[in-house]
Amino acid sequence: MTLSPKWFAARLAAAVLPAALLSATVVAVPVAHAAALDAVLNLPLTNRLADQAPGGVNASLPTDLAALEALVDSARSSRRPATDYAALLFQYRLVQATTEAGIDLAAWDPSAGFSANRDNMIRSYRYYENFQLDRRELQWAGMGGMVGGDFGGGIADMELANTVYGLPGLQQTAQSVLGTVESAFGEGGIAQLPEGLRTLAERAGDLTTADLDWFIRRVVIMQKAIFDDLMPMHYAYSREGLPAIEEFHDAGLIPDDILAAWHDVASGDPDRVATGNAALLRREQFTVVGQLWDDTRAYRDGLGGALTYVMTMVGSPSIAGVPALREHDPITVTGTLPDGRAATLTTPLPAWDWSIFEDRWTYVEGELLPRYRDMAENDWPTLKTALEVPYERQFESQRATARIPQLLGDVATATTVTVN
């Protein structure tokens, strides 16, 4: 059979045309993806601490999980440095975590106050505790979930029963202690008292509903800030292991010490696991909310310190063996009585303030961390039972209202001056 030139031309067209069409299609998709990707590269994390706006870490980023996954895949495929897509990666992991926790990130607005965020708070802490139940090494998550309910219950009281924190009895108790100290030791004794107690006694009457609302919003912001920072890492580690944490580090989202902490958490060695979780907790308390607490305490020329001190007065973590905050380092004042005798005054009020990092880290390091570790390692059935309690019940069981009468009674009967 003789093959004509037309036959060769037809065969060539049949072979080349599909390839050309395929080539055109392949080129068009990457160009479209590249344009979408370029729009979300090198974005700043303007809302990393959840204190600027609702939603995620940058308003330019989507909150749709499928869209984020496609963009992250494209960024990884482009072989760009991870620092170029740091905010995108952070948002992707955050949406994965919020989706799994049953929270709508786009609608999560901590500035709306407690009532609007109560469900998100409960879902958050339930999510924390689920990590501990699933992975024994994730002790930060379990402890954070348990303690979160304790503080969340206190915030509920502040919004739903403002009279608890504006309670005249609290100010009167503070005034009574100051009066006793002044009678015994004069102004020198007053100077030994924590600033928050002095502010409560002298200025609590200046607090308004607007002040309380502002304080509540700040604490709810801190709760979301902690979730936003730690939960993306917990999700990534639990689902994809240390390589996912390495990507966080490569993107500049976490420093060397936090990368090392996750390696400790994953090590299987009890001491290293405890060290790694302690590093995560220190990050939470210093890096994430440290400045937020300082700003809160300084609110209205220090009036915020009255509220942070009240939190310390009534706070009581539900971890077995951990003392109430007021029982850790209670007030002791020493001086000379008017008749010249040396004496010591004691009262069951805290000599410290939870909002001061050095104070709370002493409490965390000396009380919370070792006792929680002991439960996790040596009494897992008891801890597991506590973590499995429906979180609504955990939350409501830690309302501060039940502790106020006891606190007032303790201070009234147990403030004593003893001659040395």
pLDDT digits (tens, 9 = 90+) for 148-169: 877 777 776 666 545 444 456 7
Q: Give the lowest-confidence range in 166-170, 257-261, 357-361, 369-373.
A: 166-170
User: Number of structural domains, the chain?
Assistant: 1
With CA atoms as reference, report the closest residue to 23 among 11, 35, 31, 12. Answer: 31
270-303 confidence digits (pLDDT tens): 999 999 999 999 999 999 999 999 999 999 999 9
Q: Report the C-alpha gap between 324 and 317 in whole angstroms.
A: 6
> Does 407 fall in a domain?
yes
Query: Over 70: is that where the pLDDT of 6 sits?
Result: no
Amino acid symbol at 13: A
Query: Over 50: is that where the pLDDT of 17 sits?
Result: no
> Does 413 fall in a domain?
yes
Burial class of residue 377 in the structure, from the number of CB atoms within 10 Å of its CB (0-12 exposed, 13-18 middle, 19+ buried): middle
Sorting pLDDT into bands at 50, 70 and 90, what band is 7? very low
How far is residue 283 from each of residues 273, 278, 357, 360, 363, measured CA to CA in Å? 16, 9, 11, 13, 15
Q: Report the C-alpha gap between 134 and 140 in whole angstroms.
A: 13
> Does 203 fall in a domain?
yes
Query: Over 50: is that where the pLDDT of 25 sits?
Result: no
Q: Which residue has the tokens 């739903």?
A: 160
Mean pLDDT of the chain: 88
Sorting pLDDT into bands at 50, 70 and 90, what band is 330? very high
> Does 250 fall in a domain?
no
Classified as helix, coil or strand, 118 is helix
Helix axes 209-240, 304-314, angle to 10 degrees: 60
Percent share of the chain, pLDDT over 70: 87
> Does 125 fall in a domain?
yes
Q: Kindly give, in sequence order, each residue whose CB lies less than 8 Å from that of residue 417, ignoring residues fewer than 6 positions away.
A: 180, 184, 337, 343, 344, 345
Q: Report the C-alpha gap between 296 and 400 in whole angstroms.
A: 20
> Does 19 fall in a domain?
no
Residues facing residue 343 across a β-bridge: 335, 419
pLDDT at 60: 96
Report how far Cα 126 is from the mean position of its chain's Cα atoms: 14
Determine the number of helices (DSSP H) and then strands (DSSP E) in the chain: 21, 3
Query: Over 80: is that where the pLDDT of 407 sits?
Result: no
> Does 57 fall in a domain?
no
Query: Over 90: is that where the pLDDT of 413 sits?
Result: no
pLDDT at 403: 67
pLDDT at 3: 42
Sorting pLDDT into bands at 50, 70 and 90, what band is 92? very high
> Does 54 fall in a domain?
no
pLDDT at 411: 84
pLDDT at 205: 84
Amino acid symbol at 134: D
Residues facing residue 331 across a β-bridge: 347
Considering the entire predicted model, what is its pTM? 0.88
Classified as helix, coil or strand, 335 is strand
Contact status, residue 101 vs residue 231, Cβ threshold 8 Å:
yes
The boundaries of the domain holding residue 208 are: 111-226+293-420
The token duo for 250 is 């490569």
Q: Could you give phi then psi for residue 345, rounded to 5 degrees? A: -105, 135
Classified as helix, coil or strand, 416 is strand
Query: Over 50: is that where the pLDDT of 70 sits?
Result: yes
